[in-house]
Amino acid sequence: MGCDIGGIVCYLFPILVSLLLIRAAYVWYSTGKPRRRADSESVRTLIVLGSGGHTAEMLSIVNVLLKDRFAPRFYVAAATDNMSLQKARVLEDSLVQHGEPSEGKKIEASQYMQIYRSREVGQSYVTSIGTTLVAIAHAVWLVLKIRPEVIICNGPGTCIPLCVSAFLFKILGVKWSCIFYVESIARVRKLSLSGLLLYKLRMADQFVVQWPQLQKKYPRALYEGRLM
Amino acid sequence: MGGGGGDGESGRRRIVFVTVGTTCFDALVEAVDSEKVKEALWRKGFTHLLIQMGRGTYIPSKVAAEDGSIAVDYFTFSPSIADFLRSASLIISHAGSGSIFETLRLGKPLIVVVNEDLMDNHQSELAEELADQKHLFCARPQTLCEIIDAMDLESLVPYTPGDALPVAKLINNFLGFPTD
C-alpha cells in the first residue's frame, strides 16, 4: 500500500512541478500584456508608500485616478514610517469632504497597513537577507488579506516582498494582480535596487521611469514625463 | 552690486531658510553657521538666517538682528515647512526630493547641499540633474561658500511642475478602462 502511495507521489510530483512551470511561463508571458475588461467595475488597489519622497509621488498618482474605479484602496507603509500613512489619510479625508463617492454605490473604505521593512536605509546588503525573509512572510500575509488587483509602487524596499508575493499568487492562480512600477524621480541615471529587481525579473506589467536618459538605458521602461 | 538684489534697503527682511528635513546633517548646519558663509550671505543682501536642524547634534549660535551681520535662529522640527519656505528669499536644503520639489514649486531660489556621508548616495543624481537644467544650485558643505559668492539668482530657470495624468492614463489603458 505504502509503496503504491509512494509510487503515486513519484508520478504526481513531476507532473505538478511541470504544471507549475507551465503556469509560471504563462504568467510571465502575460505580464505586460494589456488586460481587456468589458465591465467597468472597480479594482482593489494596493498603493505602496515610503518616506524620502516616495509617498508624495504615489499620492500624486492617486490624486488623479478615478476614486470609485480604483477602490477600495489599501495603503501600505513601513512599520518605522509614521508620516506616510498619515499623509494618505489626509488625502483620503479630503476626498470624503468633497463628496467623491457617487450616490447609491457602497464603496469599501480605504485601509492603512504597516509592513516590516526589508532593509533600513544604510543597512548592509548581507544582513538585509534575514530581514528580507521576515518582510516576505509579512508581505505574503498582507497580500493574501488585501488580494489586490492593481499594485502601484515606486521603489521603497517594502515594495519588493509585496510585489514578489503578489506575483507568486498570480502563478498559483490565487489572484491575478497587475503591477505598475513608477521609478522614483530621484533616480536619474540608475534604477533603484527595487526597480532593477522588478525590471530584471520582468514582474511589473508596466515599468515607468521619470527621466528620458534612464529610459534610454532600460529600453523596456516607459517614459511618461515627471510626476513632481 | 548685482545678483542678490535689495542690498542696503533698511528695514527689509530677506530670510535664508536652511532645512535638513528629518535627517541628521551636521556638516550642513556647521557650514551655514560658519562666519565665512554668514558673511557671504550678508554680502548678498540677506538679513536673517533660519535653520531647521533636524536630528543633528551641532547647535548653531543664535545671533540677534543688528547692523553689520546676519541674524541667526534655529529649531529642530516643524510639522510643515511650507510657511518657512514661503517667507524665505533663499532656501538651502538637503538633497531630499520632498523639500527640493516643494521649494521649486514655490518658485524660490534653492541651493541643494549633498550629504556625502550617506552610504547609498543616489540623492546627488537628482540635485546635479536639476542643477544642470539650471533650476537650482548644487553644492557640498565645503563648497557652499563659493557657490553663494558665485550664484546669480537671475540665471535660474523656473521649474515646470510635473503631471501625473499621463501615468494615470497609462494605468487605465492597460486595465482596459476608458480614459476620460
**How does pLDDT run across A94-144, given as a tens digit for each residue?**
988 776 555 545 568 999 999 987 666 667 777 878 877 888 899 999 999
DSSP letters, A109-170, are PPEEEEE--S--TT--TTTHHHHHHHHHHHHHHHHHHH--SEEEE---TTHHHHHHHHHHHH
Compute the distance between CA of residue A10 and CA of residue A12 in angstroms, rounded to an integer: 6
Q: For residues A112 and A78, what is the distance between their CA atoms, to the nearest angstrom? A: 11
Residues paired with A87 in a beta bridge: none
Q: Please indicate, yes or no, if residue A111 is contained in any of the structural domains.
A: yes
Q: How far apart are CA A207 and CA A223, in angstroms?
A: 9
Q: Is A81 within a domain? A: yes
Top-level class of domain B15-174 = alpha beta
DSSP state of A101: S
The shortest CB-CB distance from B97 to any of A36, A185, A189 is to A185
Residues of B in contact with A52 (CB under 8 A): 96-98
Bridge partners (DSSP) of residue B53 are: none
- B48-88 confidence digits (pLDDT tens): 999 999 999 999 999 998 888 999 999 999 988 999 999 99
Q: In what order do the strands lie in the sheet with A45-48?
A: A111-115, A73-78, A45-48, A150-153, A178-182, A206-209, A222-223
Closest CA of chain B from A152, distance in Å: 9
Size of interface A-B (CB pairs under 8 A): 104
pLDDT (average), residues A200-228:
97
Contacts of B175 in chain A (CB under 8 A): 34-35, 37, 43, 150, 178
Is the predicted pLDDT of residue B145 greater than 60, yes or no?
Answer: yes
Scanning every residue of chain B, which has its alpha carbon at the shortest distance from the alpha carbon of A60? Answer: B164
Whether cis (ω within 30° of 0) applies to the bond prior to A156 is no
State the nearest Cα–Cα gap between B104 and chain A, in angstroms: 10
Domain residue extents for chain B = 15-174
Domain assignment of residue A77, given as a range: 42-223
Judged by CB atoms closer than 8 Å, whether chains meet at B175 and A35 is answered as: yes
pLDDT at A144 (0 to 100): 97
- Reduced to 3 states (helix: H, G, I; strand: E, B; else coil), residue B92 is strand
3-class DSSP state for residue A16? helix
The number of distinct structural domains making up chain A is: 1
Residue A152 covered by a domain:
yes
CB distance A184–B97 less than 8 Å?
Answer: yes
* Residue B122 to chain A, least CA–CA distance (Å): 7
Q: The C-alpha cell of A142 is what?
A: 498582507
- Output the pLDDT for position B4: 42
C-alpha span between A69 and A105 (Å, rounded): 11
> Which one, of B61, B56, B55, B74, lies nearest residue B34 by Cα?
B61
Of B126, B173, B176, the CB nearest to A186: B126
Average pLDDT in chain B: 91
pLDDT at B8: 44
Other residues' Cβ atoms within 10 Å of the Cβ of residue B176: 13
More confident residue, B1 or A168: A168
Buried b (16+ CB within 10 A) or exposed e, A138-172: bbbebbeebebbbbbbbbbbbbbbbbbbbbbbbee
Q: Taking Cα atoms as reference points, which of A207, A219, A80, A108 lies closest to residue A152?
A: A207
Residues from chain A contacting residue B168 (CB–CB below 8 Å): 61, 64-65
For residue A155, being part of any structural domain is answered with: yes
CATH number at residue A201: 3.40.50.2000
> To the nearest whole number, what is the mean pLDDT of chain A?
89
Confidence at B5, pLDDT banded by 50, 70, 90 = very low
**Residue of chain B whose Cα is closest to the Cα of A33:** B174
- Test the A interface: residue of B126, B169, B179, B180 with most A CBs within 10 Å: B126
| pLDDT for the residue numbered B68 | 86
Is there a contact between A122 and B118 if contact means CB atoms under 8 Å apart?
yes
Residue A141 lies in a domain: yes
Chain B interface test: which of A36, A55, A60 (most B C-beta within 10 Å): A60
The yes-or-no verdict on residue B1 having pLDDT over 70 is no
- pLDDT (tens digit per residue) in A27-77: 999 999 998 765 668 999 999 999 888 999 999 999 999 999 999 999 999
